[in-house]
Each structure stands twice: as C-alpha cells, then as structure tokens.
C-alpha cells in the first residue's frame, strides 16, 4: 500500500507546484507589488510538510464502528488548537482584544485536554468508542502530551492573569514543536483508521486538508500578533506571507481536486458551494493580510480584526469538514453515536429537575380534556402570533420559570445545545429556551417516536443546516419520566450543534 501511494504523492507535489506558479503569476499580473508572494518552493514545501501523509492501513478493517472519522478529525483539530492557544495567549499578554482572547483561550485549553484524553482513552461523546491501542499512535500521543505540558502551564498562567512575558516566551518557543507533534499524531491516526467501511484514504486526505485550513487560519492570527508585538518566534513578515500562500494553495487543491494525488474533487454540490463561499471571503481579505507583512506597524485593532477573521475562516472550514464527514461512508454513526452518548451521559441529567417535572404534570392536568380540534387551534394561534411578532401565548410560555431554567442550562453548554423545548403528554410545548416555529409537536418524530408510541426510545433527527446559527444541527429527543411514579409524562428535544460533536 505504501508503494502504491508513492507515485500519487509525487504527482501531488507536481500539481501543487503548478498551483503555486499559477497563483504567483496571477498576483504579479494584478499589479499589486505589495503582495510580495513567497517563493513557490517555500510555499509548496510548507504545504507538503504539514499535509497529513497517508500511512499504510493495517489490513482489512472490521465492519464495526471504531470512530475512524472522529479520530482523524479530532487529531486534526489539535493542530488548530495549538495556534488558537498561541494567538489568544499573545493577545492577552499584549492586552489586545482581551475579552475575546480570554474566552478563546479558556475554551481552547478545555478542548485540547478533552480531545487529547478522548484520543487516548476513548470518549463516546466525542464519537470515539474505545481506547487507543496502536503503539505508534500512543507514542505520537505521548509526544503531543510531553510538548503540550509546558504550553498548558504557561497559557493557564496567562489566563489567570498571573502570566508574564516569560510565559509567552515558553509558548512561543514550543509553538513549532507542538504543531509538528500534532501533525505527526494526525498522520499516525489517519494511517491507522482509514478503512472502506467508514473512512476511505481519499476521504481522509480531503478531511485532513480541510481541517488543516482551520489551523492555518489561526496561524495567520498568531503570525499577525507576533509581528505586532515583535515576538519573532510567533511570526515574522515572511512567516505571514508563507502561511497565507499555503492557505491559498490548499484551498485551490480542495476546490479543483487532484485525483491523481488522492484528492478527489468535491463529492457533491453542498461541499462545492461551501468551498466557493470560503474562497469568496478569502479572496476579499487575502491582499489585506499580505499587506500586513510589509506594513511599518500593525495596530491592536488590526490584530483583533485578524483574529476575528480567523474565527470566520475556521468556522467555515469546519462546515466543510462536517459536510465531508456526512457525505462519506459511515455518515450515520459519525454523528448519531456521539450524539446518543452525549444525550445519555449529559442531557439526561436535565430531566430530573423538580420544577420541570412539576410544570409537565400541571400542564398534563390542564390539557387532559383538550380535543384534537382544540390542539390544532392552539397551534394555529401560536403560528399566527409568531408571524405577528408575538402574543400572549408565546409570551406566557417563554416567561415561565421552567423556560428560563432551560435557557440557563443551554447557555452553560457554550453553544453545544442551541435550543431545547419540553412537551407534555399531548405533544404541546411546556417550556422552551427559544421561540419554536410551532406549538404542537405531536405529529412529529420527536414526540411520536419517544412518548407517542410508548417506547420510551431516543429519537435522533437527520442533520440540517441552521440558517440562524450558520451551523449544522441535529435534534435528540428523549422521554421524560416522573421520578415519583416512574410514569412517562412527556418528552424533551435538544437542538445540538453537530460540529461540536465531529
């Protein structure tokens, strides 16, 4: 297998050099001499050095869910998190964009620890059903942990406002080594878990490169902060130019595909359109980013704006990764398994809240005599009030203490749970964190497949794109039991940001 990949990788190098040449010519023809595009050889070398290399797969994979996609994706996410931690630490130390930087650093540190632990020990909520057994992968994990420990300590100090220039120096000094350690880990994980049942090698290549774009986006923010604060270990003008060039080459490879090198064109219009959208915002900003490499100085506002743009790119590229993972073999398991585990291990804890149980029981009593015609009319009233911008029915429901409790619980998940609503034994809403499109859920799977059929099962919906959040979401619905009687009294639906699971 390794021999069969050698020729495609040689072809990839040739294709990428061509892409670099084309990009350079286009920039020169544009007449913008400020772009100072990095030498083709440097950009191509950087691209190839950071790419996930496909190691030989260990024989025929078993036709069981082993979390292949989650493992590959999460190993790739560690690359991006190294640069998020570094960028946020740089901004906090320089007192730039402090509120956003502090939150970014807090979340990044938590995510890094969670992913690292999940890759080593397994974590169903992350979609990883078992501990890692590959010696090579375990060795790579140890390499990441050893390099990460001093960075974690220094960045934790910075987060606690106890950090110093010395802490930032530790992070800057370890930045390249940590990034390289995560690349080695990503390579080992990819080689170990490509299989026909869940993750083809070509799919792994595309997922790896798409995920790597998130790392490059954050690396751009790190480079800019390094230039602005004169922390050369974090970035110089040449570093920024090179990073921007690598992002451009990678994006072109994803958009056009390089089949001879193992990178297929986008497999469907959804991915093609998402990549086109990323390309559009990238093209609008690319020249400005490169101009920073020749600027006399970069203002704090410029650093903050670059970090914000990096987040936009990161989110958009994660949309691309999500679409790849949902468009390739094993797409059902890739989100249903971690979502079911998250619902079982975390969300079920919400269902024993006494105030929530009381609210459902009280509404069940009030609605006991409602006919179907009454229910239909209530639903029509809700829809009419929603169209009119509000009304007594909506106001009453959203202002209930149980609805406020759901909002607080949802907010505490930091965007994991995007919405949550509770239904009574007729399928009518009892409490909700946000305004729903309808009041009666009794004709939908979220109620019918949990409470309505008496099964008490969990229902997980298909993944859909949510225009309001700009993320891909699914819904997990569970029955609710009264702890005092053991009787099923209603159901609850959680809207979940699937990208937080993948």
Share of the chain above pLDDT 70, in %: 81
Which one has a higher pLDDT value, 86 or 201? 86
Share of the chain above pLDDT 90, in %: 58
**Location of structure tokens 């809700």:** 382
Is the CB of residue 395 less than 8 Å from the CB of residue 405? no
Q: What pLDDT, on a 0 to 100 scale, did the predictor assign at position 192?
A: 86
Which one has a higher pLDDT value, 200 or 460? 460
Q: What pLDDT, on a 0 to 100 scale, did the predictor assign at position 382?
A: 95
Distance CA 221, CA 240 (A): 9
Q: Is the pLDDT of residue 285 over 90?
A: yes
**Location of structure tokens 């974690």:** 152
Distance CA 76, CA 212 (A): 7
Q: Is the pLDDT of residue 190 over 90?
A: no
Q: What pLDDT, on a 0 to 100 scale, did the predictor assign at position 344?
A: 84
Q: How confident is the model at residue 277 (pLDDT cuts 50, 70, 90)?
A: very high
Q: What pLDDT, on a 0 to 100 scale, did the predictor assign at position 338?
A: 75
User: H or E segment at 379?
Assistant: helix 372-388
DSSP-derived pairing of the beta strands 429-432 and 459-460: unpaired
Q: What pLDDT, on a 0 to 100 scale, did the predictor assign at position 3?
A: 31
Q: What pLDDT, on a 0 to 100 scale, did the predictor assign at position 191?
A: 84
pLDDT, mean over the chain: 83
Q: Is the pLDDT of residue 57 over 90?
A: no
Q: What pLDDT, on a 0 to 100 scale, did the predictor assign at position 202?
A: 67
Residues of the chain within CATH 3.30.450.20 domain(s) are: 346-500
Q: What pLDDT, on a 0 to 100 scale, did the predictor assign at position 229?
A: 93
Mean predicted confidence (pLDDT) in 439-453: 93
Is the CB of residue 430 less than 8 Å from the CB of residue 447? no
Q: What pLDDT, on a 0 to 100 scale, did the predictor assign at position 261?
A: 65
Is the CB of residue 360 less than 8 Å from the CB of residue 424? yes
Is the CB of residue 124 less than 8 Å from the CB of residue 341? yes
Is the CB of residue 17 less than 8 Å from the CB of residue 44? yes
Q: What pLDDT, on a 0 to 100 scale, did the predictor assign at position 337?
A: 74
For the stretch 9-55, pLDDT in tens is 344 444 444 544 544 444 444 444 334 444 334 444 444 444 433 33
For the stretch 383-410, pLDDT in tens is 999 999 989 999 999 999 999 999 999 8
User: H or E segment at 472?
Assistant: strand 471-481
Angle, helices 165-193 vs 135-159, to 10°: value is 150
For the stretch 369-379, pLDDT in tens is 999 999 999 99
Q: Which residues of 467-490 are buried (b: 16+ CB within 10 A; e: fewer)?
A: eeeebbbbbbbbbbbbeeeeebbb
For the stretch 84-124, pLDDT in tens is 999 999 999 999 999 999 999 999 999 999 999 999 998 87
Which one has a higher pLDDT value, 4 or 190? 190
Q: How confident is the model at residue 325 (pLDDT cuts 50, 70, 90)?
A: confident
For the stretch 211-229, pLDDT in tens is 889 999 999 999 999 999 9
Q: What pLDDT, on a 0 to 100 scale, did the predictor assign at position 329?
A: 56
Which one has a higher pLDDT value, 422 or 322? 422
Which one has a higher pLDDT value, 83 or 318? 83
What's the CATH superfamily of 346-500? PAS domain (3.30.450.20)
Opening angle at CA 141, ends 102 and 64, nearest 5: 110
Q: What pLDDT, on a 0 to 100 scale, did the predictor assign at position 11?
A: 43
Q: Is the pLDDT of residue 315 over 60?
A: yes
Distance CA 212, CA 209 (A): 5
């Amino acid at each position: 297998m390794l021999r069969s990949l050698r020729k495609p990788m040689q072809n990839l190098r040739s294709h990428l050099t061509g892409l670099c040449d084309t990009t350079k010519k286009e920039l020169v023809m544009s007449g913008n001499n400020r772009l100072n595009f990095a030498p083709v050889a440097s950009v191509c070398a950087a691209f190839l050095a950071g790419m996930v290399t496909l190691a030989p797969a260990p024989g025929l994979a078993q036709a069981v869910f082993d979390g292949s996609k989650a493992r590959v994706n999460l190993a790739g996410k560690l690359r991006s998190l190294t640069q998020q931690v570094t960028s946020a630490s740089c901004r906090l130390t320089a007192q730039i964009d402090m509120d956003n930087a502090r939150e970014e650093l807090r979340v990044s540190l938590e995510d890094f620890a969670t992913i690292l632990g999940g890759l080593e020990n397994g974590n169903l909520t992350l979609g990883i059903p078992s501990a890692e057994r590959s010696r090579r992968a375990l060795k790579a994990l140890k390499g990441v942990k050893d390099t990460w420990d001093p960075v974690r300590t220094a960045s934790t100090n910075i987060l606690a406002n106890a950090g110093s220039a010395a802490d930032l120096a530790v992070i800057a000094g370890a930045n390249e080594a940590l990034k390289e350690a995560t690349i080695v880990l990503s390579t080992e994980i990819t080689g170990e878990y490509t299989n026909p049942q869940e993750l083809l090698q070509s799919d792994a290549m595309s997922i790896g490169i798409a995920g790597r774009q998130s790392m490059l986006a954050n690396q751009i923010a790190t480079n800019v902060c390094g230039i602005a604060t004169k922390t050369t270990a974090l970035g110089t003008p040449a570093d920024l130019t090179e990073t921007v060039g690598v992002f451009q080459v990678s994006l072109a490879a994803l958009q056009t595909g390089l089949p001879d090198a193992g990178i297929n064109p986008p497999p469907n219009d959804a991915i093609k359109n998402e990549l086109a959208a990323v390309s559009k915002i990238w093209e609008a900003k690319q020249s400005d980013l490169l101009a920073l490499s020749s600027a006399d100085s970069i203002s704090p506002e410029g650093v903050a704006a670059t970090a914000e743009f990096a987040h936009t790119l990161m989110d958009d590229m994660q949309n691309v990764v999500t679409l790849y993972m949902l468009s390739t073999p094993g797409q059902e398991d890739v989100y249903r398994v971690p979502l079911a585990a998250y619902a079982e291990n975390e969300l079920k804890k919400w269902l024993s809240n006494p105030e929530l149980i009381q609210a459902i029981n009280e509404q069940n009593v009030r609605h006991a005599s409602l006919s179907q015609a009454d229910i239909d009319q209530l639903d029509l009233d809700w829809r009419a009030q929603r169209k009119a911008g509000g009304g007594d029915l909506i106001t009453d429901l959203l202002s209930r203490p149980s609805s406020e409790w759901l909002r607080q619980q949802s907010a505490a998940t930091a965007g994991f749970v995007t919405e949550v609503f509770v239904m009574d034994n007729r399928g009518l809403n009892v409490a909700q964190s946000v305004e729903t499109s309808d009041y009666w859920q009794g004709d939908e799977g979220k109620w019918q497949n949990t409470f309505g059929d008496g099964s008490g099962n969990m229902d997980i919906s298909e993944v859909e794109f949510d225009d309001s959040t700009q993320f891909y979401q699914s819904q997990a619905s569970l029955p609710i039991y009264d702890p005092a009687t053991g009787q099923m009294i209603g159901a609850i639906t959680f809207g979940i940001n699937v990208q937080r699971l993948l």
